[in-house]
Chain A
Amino acid sequence: MRDYIRYVLRGREGLRSYLVLLATVLGSLFAVHMLLLGVLIADKFNDRIDLLIYEILGSAGAAIGYAMLTDRLLKIAVSSGVSRKAFLHGTAYLGPLFALITTAAITLFFLITDGIYHLSGNGLSNIGISLYYERSYLSVYAPRVVIFSLTALFSLILYLYSYGLLFVAFRNRFNNMPAGVIVTGIIFTLCHGLVLGTVAVLLLDKISLRLDPEWLAEQMQYGILLDDTFRSDVCVLAEAAVVWYLLVYGIFVLMMRRVPVRGKEKEGAI
């Protein structure tokens, strides 16, 4: 497993290609933000605006990149003498690690964009705080809000990664088409339909439903104002995402541990 992880972290087709993809996604989103800023300046709009572009599209792009990478790495690893066991163990560690890196990257882009918006007299809503109805009570750069924001973003990315893993598992077991249908079906069912709201809000809403709905919903709305429960807020968010990730990872392991690895050209060759 060490060889595999070493390759992913230091080799060409691992972290490096993921970061290139992530930078491309976030760079594109940065360009979109700059266009929007132009519109805001032209309209003489001067306020803090709610833009969840980085969280939603950034995380979704990252998850697609992660799924693509995992699929490629399976083929590279197995054709290079790495057992599926080592590949699967490696994936268990690499998922959260990549999610952390993505969280940091998205936050960095967010901060740079927010800084530029500030120069023009505008501002972006903080990542985590924008999920709250009562956000006006707190400064968006209060340390606890920042920590909560990072946790929320990390949880969201981990959630989306888990759907990516499911897609890879179904793709390798069946094909692209059934994989797409099944995973879209799962996301649609779990999130009550993406069209009804933002991915972020619905996914986080789902976390609260899976645990203690009433209590967590209360924490989600007001908990951040209470110092003594703040820690548990953060932990609950992260724990729920990690538990979900591990659950999906378990399914991934079951589906992938004996999956044959074949190339495109001669699929099903004897």
Chain B
Amino acid sequence: MSKIELQELTKKYRLKLALDSVSLTLEKGHIYGLLGRNGAGKTTLCSLIANRDFPTSGKVLLDGEKLKENDALLKKVYCMGAEDLLPNYMRVRDVIASMKYFYLKSAANYALSLCDQFRLDPKKRLSQLSTGYRTIAKVIFAMSSGADFIFLDEPTLGLDANHRELLYKLILERFEETGAAFVISTHLIDECAGLFERCFVLREGKLIADEDSDTLRRSAYAVEGKTEAVDAYCQGREVLSRSAVGTLCSACVKGEPDDAIPAGLEISQPGLQQLLIALTGGEG
């Protein structure tokens, strides 16, 4: 199975360490979630893999070979970034037509059918598109590229609920059809949670979680109740986050709940988004 390996990938900007020794593996045939707060390093990670930027140290390997500046391997990776790299005056259909020069397996007809489904006029210039439709256009370019590894950075930016639902459906269909690896970086975690098989969580440039979604969800639990009771329960346990409203308090505790739950406390399984908030430093 084709795979991308990141080995000790570090990216340092002048004033900020954007990525700190990140090592992970992406295999073809899976859908991954790349999660983290704003500025956690998700976009940088995608840029480094797609050869748009260069790491300060570390390397990216595709099937054991260095991906950096390797034309044959770069064709197997497509990165849809939140930023606009294509000239604004280009028409959607021109971009679709140009894909064939770079990606041999690109599917122009499929791209046009996606335009149809999203009601995107392919004759329109990129500059004429709203934020949402610009995102849709970029997603269409990515999905029709035929690449083995498709990175979608903020694929829901500006999309309404209907289009988001359609997007999730199409990602799953395309995934089943091609078996390509999808790496989705998004802030709408609960909406996308069902798609992710495995999640990578970044916090201030560090990879703090690399687990399959179910394991990650089970790695913590939420305790709710009166503040004194919750605080007493949390004594000696690793608390990921804690928030109190009036006399009530809720805490996210790492590990699995034990059998002895004190009376007055409620235990529940946190959603992926709640867990991520807890893992990445709580609210605010």
Question: Which residue numbers of A lie inside 8 Å of B, CB to CB?
Answer: 1, 3, 6-7, 10-13, 72, 75-76, 78-86, 258, 260-270
Contact = CB atoms under 8 A, between A and B. Distances in A.
A258 B86 CA distance: 20
Contact of A3 (B13, B39, B70, B102): B102
A11 B98 CA distance: 6
Contacts of B50: 79, 81
Contacts of A264: 83-84
A31 B40 CA distance: 56
Interface in B20-75: 39-41, 43-44, 47, 50-54, 69-71, 74-75
B90 A82 contact: no
A262 B75 CA distance: 19
Nearest to B147: A81
B83 A81 contact: no
Pick the 7 closest A-B CB pairs, nearest first: A263-B83, A7-B101, A80-B102, A260-B53, A81-B74, A79-B85, A266-B83
B180 to A, nearest CB: 14
Identify the interface centre among B43, B50, B98: most chain A CB within 10 Å of its CB. B98
Contacts of B103: 80-81
B71 A86 contact: yes
A64 B75 CA distance: 31
Contacts, number: 104
B81 to A, nearest CB: 7
B279 interface: no
Contacts of B102: 3, 7, 80-82
Contacts of A7: 98, 101-102
Contacts of A260: 47, 52-54
B83 A269 contact: yes
B39 A81 contact: no
Contacts of A265: 82-84
A12 B90 contact: yes
